[in-house]
Structures are given as C-alpha cells and as structure tokens.
A and B are shown apart, each in its own frame.
Chain A
Amino acid sequence: MSPRYEGKPTPSRGFRLRGRWFPVRKSTTRRGFGVRRPGLGVLLAGLAVGVGVVSLGVGASEVSWRELGEVLVGGGDAGTRLVVLELRLPRIVTGLLVGMAFAVSGALLQTLARNPLASPDVIGVSAGASAAAVSVLVLAGSAGGVSGLAAQVGLPVAALLGGLGATALVAVLAAEWGRGPGFGAVAAGRVVLVGVGVSAAANSLVSWLLVVGDVNSASRAAAWLAGSLNGRSWTDAAPIAIAVAVLVPVALLFGRDLSVLVLGDDVASALGVPVPRTRAVLLAVAAGLAATATAAAGPIAFVALVAPQVAQRLCRTDRPPLLTTAALGALLVVTADLVARTGLELAGVGPHELPVGVVTAACGAPYLIHLVGRRQKES
C-alpha cells in the first residue's frame, strides 16, 4: 500500500490527507452545538457544583449569602454552621454522588445492551435493590424504625446484593446461550423485556412487604421508595462516596473497550477485547453503582435513563460519554432536589417538601414517552 498523505501528521484529533484536514474523534458531520466533550463535561460539572452551592443557602432557616460564604471558609456562628454543614451539605453531596452513580450506571447498561431503554430503573436493577432494602426496612425494623447497624450497614449492603442479584438474573435470562463462548451476547430487545419482568417481580415483592410490615416501617419504606434526599446525613453519603470513588474509575478503565463493543461482540473480540469478561465487569459496576445509589436515596426515577441520552446528543457521539453523563446526572439530581425543596413554597402552596424522585419522574416520564415513540418510528 502506498499512502499519499501530505505533510507531517500532527498528533491531534484528526489527520491530514491530500491537503484536507479530517477530524477523527469528534463528529463534525452536523453543525450546531459543536461543543467539545471535555469542555461540556467541565461546564456541566461546574453547573452542578454551582447549583449545589446555591442550594446550601436555600431552605427553611434563612442563610444569607454572606453567612454562607463565612461558613464555607470556616467561620460563621454555630447555628448556621449546623444548618449548612451538617444538615444541607451532606444532603447535597449525596445528591451529587447519587446523580453521578445513576447516570454512569445508565450509560454503561445502555451501551452494553445497545438499547437506550436499558437503564437500571427499567431493567430491574433499582427494583431489585429496592426490594432488598425494603426487606431490611420492614423486617429488621422495630416499631421505632430501623436503627443502628441495620440502617448504616444493612441497608446499603442489602441494596447492593439485591441490585447485583437482579442484574445477574436479567443477564442470565436474556443471554443467548450456545453462540460464542460463555455468558454474553445480551440481545438488545431481550434485555429490556426480561428486565421489565424482573422489575415487576421485585416490585410485587415490595408491595407485599409494605402490606405485611407494620404501619410505621411501611410508611417509612414508602417515603424512601419515592426517592428522597430528605434528612440525609454523612453516614448516608459515605457508602455512595466509596462506591463512586471505586467504581467510576473501573468504569472508565473498562469503558475504553465500549468504543469497540458498540461495533458488535464479534468485532470487539476480533479487536482484542475479552468480551465476556469486559461485559461482566461493566455489568457488575453498573449494578453496583445503581444499587448503592438506590440505597442512599431510594430509586430516584429516570436519571439513569435520561442523563446518558442527553449527554450523548449534546456531545454527538456514538455512545453516551461517561464523564459528561456523570456531570449531567449530578446536575439533574441537585437541580431536581432544589426544585423539590423549594418548588411548592415558591408556588405558594406552603412549606412542603416533595421527594426528589417525584420531580425527576415528572420531567423524565415525558422523555421516556418521546424515546419510545421515536424508536417505534425508526423500526
């Protein structure tokens, strides 16, 4: 072969051929946004932190901007410090982390299943985690609710096991056996169908638990099931912080292989990717993130479904970009939480708080309908 490229190739995102410049990484086929991936991710992350800071100053007890500033640099009076650092900050940090976890989990599952509907809340991961967590809430709780060890360790661990269990079940039931080596080949449509089934089974278990449990535990569980950041403390934030710190880097490391996994399992293995192992690791990471996030804040609906798709459209890539998706997920959850905390009051209804899951569901449901409609038009 005698390539006829001109000039010295510059080590950047593209190549020169016959005097023309061809970008390689970034899609330049459509005009419009033209936003580069890292820039957009940084922008979204900045917005998420910004909304978080604004959120610190908003709430039932008034904190002025000056007081907030003082507290953040280490000053302020004890009362304000308590409100900002012990009541609001853990809640907002939990919100940011939960948003990242759900969003990355959704991005991984959607890419692995090659189906934008395959998010943890659709295919049963969140439902499995919920069923396990509600079991702990209802069965381990005395009349005073879950306390001590059961709440701090039992709930996240149970949710993690429930989420992993549901994922394994979906993966096994949806796998196409007998073609190619090992566990793998999850067909795009099947994983959603099987997942909806597993989800329904887990949700019926939840309903049964709510019926048999005593009134206090059941109402506590019901509030948790709506997805709420209300009253989250640093002990709630710790497990999700560990999960994000450990699992997101793993996702990024193995996620590099997603760029060829989207080309089909055979092409990916021909390009040197150990497909069954990579798929198993990424599935486990996705399940772990969604399950820990569910344990921390309940199954906040639609974040995992919407964030990856929106990030993909903004970046114009062929799959959801993981870091941008994470930033967008964090932004979605803190914004939804701010709206949930203040929306009713601003609307003049009174000082009531909504669970954050209600806000994300209200925004996410129309998007889901749009997505399903568009897919039907395409097929």
Chain B
Amino acid sequence: MRTESLTLGYGADAAVVTDLSLEVPAGRVTAVVGPNGSGKSTLLRGMSRLLTPRAGRVVLDGTDVHRLPAKQLARRLGVLPQGPVTPDGITVAELVSRGRHPHRGLFARFSAYDEQAVAAALDAVGMAEYATRPVQALSGGQRQRVWIAMVLAQGTPYLLLDEPTTYLDLAHAVDVMEVVHAAARDGGRTVVAVLHDLTLAARYADHLVVMSGGTVAAEGRPADVLTEDLLADVFGLSATVVDVGGAPAVTGQESRCGRAATGGSWC
C-alpha cells in the first residue's frame, strides 16, 4: 500500500496534507505520529477513502483505492475511525459480527465462515468470554478492544486504525497495542495506526512515520527515527531518548521556551 503525491483538505480550507508520498511496508505495523494538527488523522482518512484527495492517489495492491467499488475495498481494507457510535443495548458479539457486513450477499444469512471470523476476532482481542455482554457495560479499554475485534472480523489484509489508544490509560493502551501488533505478526496483516504516544509507537511499530505540517518529516525504524534532534525539530520538545529493551523511549519531556504554540509569554 502506498500514497502518491497525496494532497488532502476539507471543504474550501487550505490543504492539511500536501504532496505526500508514502510506502507502507507489507505485513508490518506502521505508526504515524506527529504533533496535533500535523495531518496524521487526515492522512489516514485519505488513505481509507473517508476523504477524497484533491490530488494524488492511494494505491492498494496496484489499484487506486478511489476507483474500487466500496464493498470490494471494504473486503481488503479495514478501518477503525475515531469516534465510532456504540448503539444502546448492542452486545459484544453483535457488534463484532457487523464487521462481516462487506461479505454479506443480497439474501445470504450469517454463514459458518462468518461465525468463525467473529469467534477468531473475539479470541484475538481476549473478549470471547464477554461475547453476550452489552458493549456499554464495558470499560473504555475493553470497548476499544471490541471495536478492534469488529475490524479484525472484517478479515481484511490491510488495517487502518485512527488513534486506537486515545482516552485509554497506559495499561489498557498497552493491551490494545499488543492486539494490534499480534494482528500483523500472527495474521500477516499490514497495519497503519495513528498514535499520539511516541513511546508506545516506538515500542510496537516496525516502521515509524513522523509527520509535521502535512508532510513526512522522517520515517524508518523507530530506533533510527526517534532522536532528540527530531523531537526538538518536530515537536518543539527538549527531551531525552533512552533505549528500553531495543526500543527508544522518550523521557524528561520539557517544552522548549519561546515557541509561539506553547505561549512564549510564560518563559
């Protein structure tokens, strides 16, 4: 999967992502990080066809994503957008089974194959014993895992996840990222996840893409990309990067003074 000179924007406003070309490594977890407003979520919306590009294209297995019929795309590309709606009274198994929607024929019933996909997805996120519970009775982390199971049940070789760990505490975020990582490692899926936690991204991603001002500021192996210079350049952070078990971790974060965005008057 790759993007070619992608330019994205909303309505008549200025473009949020400009001329972005990106190659996503197959069968790996790619994390997209960057400061707020750097265009990482917009990029994901463009890649998943939730947003039509102004210029450029998104190529999936050699075809332009925007030329594929919606249902065919949904059988190849699973997307977990931000802010999905959990209807009142829906159970875990019911919600996950909705992921099979793109595979539904005109009059086909829920098949044994669909059931297996739902069971496997619930198992993968460790929510099998909650199958009959209402989703609204679950904790935030469990709920997020159920939504990821919904996308896994879709059975697509490609997965795009927009901030799957937002609003989760560290333990739950780690849980969710374990699931995401396993989807790539055990399921052979290509995963692209927008993340805001740099350390989490560095720990679970095979490939790290750092965005700034609508373009790619750096990309590569997390250990190569996540440096103190980069943090200073892109995030305006003077921080220390330490090695934790082979993955870089960001510590001692401190906002660099004099930067307009952080309010220069305080310094």
User: Which positions in A face B, CB cutoff 8 Å?
Assistant: 1-5, 8-11, 13-18, 22-25, 27-29, 114, 177-181, 256-257, 259-260, 262-264, 266-267, 269-274, 316-319
Contacts and interface: CB of A to CB of B under 8 A. Distances in A.
A48 to B, nearest CB: 26
The 3 closest A-B pairs by CB, nearest first: A272-B74, A3-B120, A266-B81
Contact of B71 (A3, A14, A272, A318): A272
Interface stretch (B23-31, B45-53, B211-219): B45-53
A256 B70 contact: no
Given A180-B50, A180-B51, A318-B88, A15 B115 contact: yes
Contact of B123 (A4, A14, A257, A319): A4
Question: Do most interface residues of chain A lie in helix, strand or loop, or is the interface mixed?
Answer: loop
Nearest to B70: A272
Given A178-B11, A318-B89, A270 B50 contact: yes
Contacts of B101: 257, 259-260, 271-273
Contacts of A4: 123
Contacts of A180: 50-51
A16 B13 CA distance: 51
Contacts of B152: 1
A29 B120 contact: no
B104 A270 contact: no
Given A270-B81, A317-B89, A5 B48 contact: no
Contacts of A271: 74, 98-99, 101-102, 154
Contacts of B133: 29
A23 B112 CA distance: 13
A244 B114 CA distance: 33
B91 interface: yes
Interface residues of B, number: 62
B48 A270 contact: yes
Nearest to B98: A260
B74, B83, B152, B187: most-surrounded residue (chain A CB, <10 A): B74
A11, A272, A273, A316: most-surrounded residue (chain B CB, <10 A): A272
B131 A17 contact: yes
B119 A270 contact: no
Interface in B83-124: 83-91, 93-95, 97-99, 101-102, 104, 109-112, 115-116, 118-120, 122-124
B49, B101, B122, B133: most-surrounded residue (chain A CB, <10 A): B101
Interface in B67-87: 70-75, 77-87
